Chains A and B, each alone.
Chain A
Amino acid sequence: MSTVIEQIEQQIALLSSKAVKKNTGTIRSVADGVAKVDGLSDVMYNEMVQFPGNAIGIALNLEEDEVGCVVLGDVAGLKEGDEVQTTGRLLSVPVGKMLLGRVVDALGRPLDGKGPIEAKESYPVEKIAPGIIVRKGVTQPVLTGIMAIDSMIPIGRGQRELIIGDRGTGKTTIAIDTIINQARINRLGLASKDPAFRPLYSIYVAVGQKQSNIARTIATLEAAGAMEYTVIVAAPAADNPANQYVAPYAGAAMGEWFMENNLDALIVYDDLSKHAVAYRQISLILKRPSGREAYPGDVFYLHSRLLERSARLAGKGSLTALPIIETLAGDVSAYIPTNVISITDGQIYLETDLFNQGVRPAVSVGLSVSRVGSSAQLKMTKQVAGKLKGELAQFRELAAFAQFGSDLDARTKAQLDRGSRIVELFKQPAFNPIPIEVQAAVLWAMQNNYFDPIDVKKIVDSANHLREFLTTRKSALLGSLREKAAIDDTLNAELKKALEEWKSSLAA
């Protein structure tokens, strides 16, 4: 018992007897998560302020005789006349590997009931993006495990690739598939003890989503064994708009830690439309002038300063961003979608019509693009998928033309046949990413006409059969493909031999 007393006495002795200076203010009004505060004459822009009851706020509006603060936490306990203090600190969140496998809120506090997070470091939520000189070109791939994306819209480490589409078109599924695929690659890579292997950690930021959807995503990641490489930052729809506003920046700070420490990370912002809506709500309550669609004038800067933080740094790691935008009735020319399209290095556009036709993932190849191009693609993928986008574009053109004429020449028919086969080949169930070597082998089979004799309706089943055949019976060939990452003459011959074997097994 005496040791406890001694400990407290030591703690008391540590406390300085000198006077402590605080800059204070008084709450004038609280409404919708925003407090107007009198005083706080020394406060800085974006500084953390301390409200009674351990609530934290951020000073966002510095006016002549009052300060507008967003409150991150429960505002129910705050009332007019309460004292507010400056802290002299910017809002920071815990960072590091200790966060992997955890679900945290916008301030990095655990939500999963797995105990406190023992993080040694914390990073400021708002940080200036890396400059031009320290950046490096995007050349290393991020493999999503989705054939249509890896072959035609390659994503590289450090890239910002937007996932855009209407509600219910599979935007989140693509992001979750990518996270699951990274976990699978990480497990294989770390088990191989290859010193050159660079694992890719994932951060999933859920903004303004239903709690049930977030719970489902967590369950999916846990079931796929991806949680051990993933951090989830949750600011659900029930959270106040200030938390929804801060959450993507908090996620970016967590991702920056990986980047600064020579590691690679992937961050998914799901979604930035709801983030913009939360910011609009805050701005309107703060009485900032509103512009188009009632968004404030700095809504472009809201997203540009966030997405510019994703980069590949020379001599360090990378942070790849997959922001998600939800469109209304396929309108990509709305304010927020056009803003984010112009900030990112490409977009994956998902179409409702394709989704309803059963083309899943419903990637619209014509409207989707990766501005990094094939520089972030493995050589084997380039070898087998180099012409695919062109072939599909030709197919779409001919398909539209074929609707008006019944008599088609043999060459056109062949092109239409091939196109419809490629479309079928790219159909893939959710949460089932395909390893890149299997993708390459399947596409090699398509390029070498192994799917031509098969009826279009049976392509999906045949492709599944081929993938199973390769995985179970040709693992050595897949291993060589993975290792070499290019198809040379030897592998070409081996692939031919394996495919002939598969063909005969299929016929049998």
Chain B
Amino acid sequence: MRVSKQSQQFARQLFRLSLAEGQVSPERVDGVLAHLAAHPPRQPLAVLRHYHRLIAVQLAKNRALVEHAGVINDGILRAIEATFTQKYRRPVGAAARPDPRLIAGLRIRIGDDVYESSVAAQLTTLSLSL
């Protein structure tokens, strides 16, 4: 479905209203959703989908998804949280997800940034350099 510029702009406006001190506020999101339910805009589905995307991107910035092969304990996750909270100067929570394709090591995703320290990635680099 083609999303009009007006719908995108409106979604962006709603997104800005959903932030409190640079973070997504659940209360404000509730308020925005209630407003949309009461006063549906033109192309409500498009607006909501775009709004959803913007919120998801913002939430991903505060979440470190730690993909790992092998065992990872809580201590490592807490250390990762502390390191990235300091680095990005915003609260970052860590969540683990096992991925045996990495062979060994970690891959951490925070928003658009990916920190790669896995054997699989090194082997890919090696195969490209040969």
Contacts and interface: CB of A to CB of B under 8 A. Distances in A.
Nearest to A26: B112
A41 B112 contact: yes
Interface string B47-84: 00000011001000000000000000000000000000
Interface string B99-130: 00000001011011111110001100110011
Interface stretch (A12-20, A95-103, A115-123, A380-388): A12-20
B28 interface: no
A21 B107 CA distance: 10
Main secondary structure of the interface of B (DSSP, over half): mixed
Nearest to A64: B12
Contacts of B12: 64-65
B57 A38 contact: yes
A39 B112 contact: yes
A448 interface: no
Nearest to B112: A39
A23 B54 contact: no
Contacts of B106: 19
A171 to B, nearest CB: 42
A40 interface: yes
Given A24-B113, A39-B112, A15 B122 contact: yes
A15 B57 contact: no
A20 B120 CA distance: 13
B114 A22 contact: yes
A11 B127 CA distance: 10
A378 to B, nearest CB: 53
A23 B113 contact: yes
A42 interface: yes
A65 B57 contact: yes
A49 B113 CA distance: 14
Contacts of B54: 65
B112 A19 contact: no
Interface in A36-86: 38-42, 64-65
A334 B31 CA distance: 56
A481 to B, nearest CB: 58
Given A11-B126, A15-B126, A38-B57, A20 B121 contact: yes
Contacts of A20: 115-117, 121
A41 B126 CA distance: 27
A8 B129 CA distance: 11
A246 B83 CA distance: 42
Nearest to B121: A20
Contacts of B116: 19-22
Contacts of A17: 117
Nearest to B11: A65
28 contacts: A11-B129, A11-B130, A12-B122, A15-B126, A19-B106, A19-B108, A19-B116, A19-B117, A20-B117, A20-B121, A21-B113, A21-B116, A22-B113, A22-B116, A23-B112, A23-B113, A23-B114, A24-B112, A24-B113, A24-B114, A38-B53, A39-B57, A39-B111, A39-B112, A42-B112, A65-B12, A65-B53, A65-B54
The 9 A-B pairs with the shortest beta carbon distances in the complex, nearest first, are: A19-B117, A39-B112, A19-B115, A41-B112, A22-B114, A20-B116, A15-B122, A24-B114, A23-B112
Interface of B: 12, 53-54, 57, 106, 108-109, 111-117, 121-122, 125-126, 129-130
Interface of A: 8, 11-12, 15, 17-25, 38-42, 64-65
